[in-house]
Copies of this chain bind each other. A is one copy, B any other.
């Protein structure tokens, strides 16, 4: 299988598919990370809705905290009718716990596997991977659990979007003891940044195993139709720090300035 020939799974977001050179690779598991309000869940619901409503790729949503009715409400804000999709056997929103999910994936003919088979599910949204941290305080064990969990999803033939919460509003979280991004096939970052007295959002793809991808950092917005990826940030440096500077001023200035 060559790189170009890999089957692609559209995220339902044209600009993001474009950055991914066509979409996620079928059967891969991708991490989507962001701070509160960056639209992680919206992006994930859009991925599931597109599959179930438009691509004939039914989907599962595994939620460890948010009640299904909240998903129905939140989806309806974007015009996505999750109740109808459930009625049509295109979607299941499953409220469960990391413990139960883990045991289920380990058992033969588990509940999730049956449900995925029944729906002929092709996609799964996990909201959120952060809840697995309650299972253990040992980062090594956590990683093994997550790796096993991801492999369980892959065995079921699902393309997975895994949400991770990042508490840092700007820049990186200060203490990153372990990084689950090492065990996923892709890594998409959602970031806040301050620009001209307003807070904007930026998206970048850091990792996409088995495929090339766009390296640029793009603006996106959360509209009544969901996430929309816009143009690349032009003329800004330091976007990932959350506090960029113009590169017309920057080049000129920084020779004199000092980085603390």
Q: Which of A144-194 contact B (CB under 8 A)?
A: 144, 147, 151, 165, 167-170, 172-179, 181-184, 187, 192, 194
What residue in chain B is nearest A215 (Cβ atoms)? B198
- Cα–Cα, bound, A9→B68 (Å): 25
Interface string of A197-214 (1 = CB under 8 A from B): 111100010111111100
Stoichiometry, copies per complex: 6
Interface residue from B4, B187, B195, B198 paired with A36 (Cβ < 8 Å): B187
Interface centre among A4, A144, A232, A255 (most CB of B within 10 A): A255
Question: A174 contacts B177, CB within 8 Å?
Answer: no
List residues of chain B with CB within 8 A of the CB of A2.
Answer: 76-77, 79, 224
What are the 10 closest A-B residue pairs judged by CB atoms, nearest first?
A37-B207, A249-B255, A249-B256, A257-B257, A246-B251, A36-B181, A245-B254, A251-B260, A253-B256, A167-B179
A: residues with CB less than 8 A from B are 1-4, 6, 35-37, 65, 67, 73-74, 76-79, 131, 133-134, 140, 143-144, 147, 151, 165, 167-170, 172-179, 181-184, 187, 192, 194-200, 204, 206-212, 215-217, 222-224, 232-243, 245-260
